[in-house]
Homo-oligomer: A and B are copies of this chain.
């Protein structure tokens, strides 16, 4: 069993703690949170030790790896500390909201052999990943177009939005990563539009948006569309469509069961989609942990690396420039 320490015991941290506990290749070894009460609650729930400083984790011989789920602004620091301590690290996205900070972190850890994995869980989803494998196996010939539909069931609380760094860095970042993963080539051009359609006050108060559309393109001409919304009242909407010269693949939404309902009010009604990312990507979170264990045990490179985390942020920055300059922006202008 690989012993993983957890840094950050908020909502996502608690989910990770439960997953580490449940996973048949990992065990939760100790937890840390700047808010000691949060840490102690999680520690009690899973019968593990709560430590008073992150350093205790880095110096412990009972820790084979570290999962970072603390607030975003601490990610880069913790990654650097983990690498310095030789502890493999699985860090939640985004690495940081500031590309400069990410680049400095990249420099600092450059050349290390300590595995650093970024938690882009969607790469590990059974549906999305089997679609990607089918493309790699040539099932649809040459890939031409990728369409990513990614919509949240509701607008997050104002407090969350104020700290989140903007829709592109907080929400679309997953889709930018998925676009890169699916395209199999680096997107080199980005175009974006965005509006505050659901809650116009978001725009007025926070300069934030809630609905967006993107077009990305690679140098070979592969095209990608992403559409985002924060108000899919029908449920968390996560679809990927891959169009190629010889066919198409769609990785569609997941339901908890295959019950369909028929009444005066409608036919073939499906069970509601999984509520949100924790439910929808539950298998993916576990598979992501599995990948992390492989990194540690087999020194395998992570499926979602630090550089993947950095590039997704670069795409977000490029998209913001496109939004402001109303034009197709080359990624190289930003990176």
* Interface flags, A222-252, vs B, CB<8A=1, else 0: 1101010101111101000001011111111
Q: Are B245 and A145 in contact (CB under 8 A)?
A: no
Q: Are B191 and A229 in contact (CB under 8 A)?
A: no
Which chain B residues lie closer than 8 Å to A269 at the CB level? 266-270
Q: Are A267 and B130 in contact (CB under 8 A)?
A: no
* Interface flags, A250-279, vs B, CB<8A=1, else 0: 111111111111111011111111000000
- The contact size tier of chain A is 35 or more
- Shortest C-beta distance, A2 to chain B (Å), equals 16
Which chain B residues lie closer than 8 Å to A261 at the CB level? 134, 139, 247-249, 266
Partner of A225, one of B126, B227, B245, B326: B227
- Tell me the complex Cα distance, A257–B131, Å: 10
Q: Are A223 and B246 in contact (CB under 8 A)?
A: no
Q: Are A127 and B259 in contact (CB under 8 A)?
A: yes
Copies of this chain, whole number: 4
A119-172 interface (Cβ within 8 A of B): 125-127, 130-131, 134, 139-140, 142, 144-145, 147, 149, 151
Partner of A211, one of B144, B197, B237, B255: B144
| A residues neighboring B (CB under 8 Å) | 21-22, 24, 125-127, 130-131, 134, 139-140, 142, 144-145, 147, 149, 151, 189, 191, 193, 195-198, 211-213, 215, 217, 221-223, 225, 227, 229, 231-235, 237, 243, 245-264, 266-273, 326-328
